[in-house]
Amino acid sequence: MKNIYKIYKQLMTDSMKTVIPVLLASTLLSACGGSSTDTTPVDGGPVIRGSKCLGTELGDKTSCVEINSRKAILYKEDNNEKEGIALFLHGSPGEASKVMGIFDAPMIASKQNLVAISPQGLDSTWGWLSNNTEINNDVSDVEYINELLTKVRAEHNVNSDKLYIFGYSAGGFMAYKLACVIPEQISAIVSLAGQYRGSLLACENNTPLAIHHFHSTSDKEVPYNGRTRTSIKSVDQTIQLWREKNACDESISSQEHIRVTSSSSKTVTSIYNNCLASVTLSKMADVPHEANYIGENLYQIYQSIFNN
């Protein structure tokens, strides 16, 4: 019994050596605000491990940006001057972190020396107020995004007004809304499985804007041919709208590209010629709406937008 008691006593002593520091560290972290709730780093400072933004745990290169009580996830590799902003717009239902993952936002930010930012939409049905209407056109989400971009440029060492918009599904609807309302502020948009929504007559501007649209004819959630009852235009109508705005001629060049998911077969890209700004359509084969996209493969297909 004495030997058993000695072993038990030694085990208790050794375990407390481990437990006490852990408890102390946990107490200090709690006192500093390091909980599992949303925490916004001050002045872009280091992120406390375990802090979250929009339900996503933040890493060393991410932070939470808040404006008008709305939050966005920001990714920035370092404090060097950045050459623009990449804006990522999620689908519905969707999350900021999901759309950043689909396009591989860190990869884009690294290759093009950009700040990546992904806000959360508030509309419960569409994610964003993306409908283009001729009367009472609601632009409150456009105004919010404008304020967010102004804040990011001012506080994160962005030395140009370049803006690249990446939208997925309902985020693609919103990308086209931005292309109609603030085209002069946008360098290019990439829309994946999300076309123009609303009245074509409501998009009155004639500012040329680079467009690269990805869509699968197998998409059942957001069909290639659109939906009349929900004001989603077909992909062909969407592309034609920007062919006219960008003064493209009738000729088309085609290229076959790599697949964009592990199970898709190929991607056929149509490039509309002699445009004031590029208009490109990539038809993906055998890709459902929800898919595990390969961000690097998508990038290889649309990367020419950065030359506009």
Does the reported pTM lie above 0.95?
Answer: no
pLDDT of residue 143: 96
Query: Which amino acid, residue 43?
Result: D
Confidence check: pLDDT of 261 > 60: yes
E-strand stretches of 77-151: 85-89, 115-119
CA distance 20 to 6: 21
Residue 8 reports pLDDT greater than 50: no
What domains can be seen in the chain, in order of their start residue? 53-307 (3.40.50.1820)
Distance CA 74, CA 61 (A): 8
| Confidence class for position 284, pLDDT limits 50, 70, 90 | very high
What are the percentages of helix, strand and coil residues in the chain, rounded to 5?
35, 25, 40
The strands making up 163-168's β-sheet, listed across from edge to edge, are 62-67, 70-75, 115-119, 85-89, 163-168, 188-192, 210-216, 279-284, 267-272, 252-257
- Tell me how far CA of residue 90 lies from CA of 15, 41, 94, 118, 227, in angstroms: 47, 23, 5, 8, 20
Question: Please, are residues 284 and 191 in contact by the beta-carbon 8 Å criterion?
Answer: no
What's the mean pLDDT in 35-50? 37
Rounded mean pLDDT of the chain?
A: 86
Mean pLDDT over 32-56 rounds to 49
**What integer pLDDT is reported at residue 23 of this predicted model?**
35
Structure tokens that stand for 64 in this block = 């939470």
- Give yes or no for residue 194 having a pLDDT over 90: yes
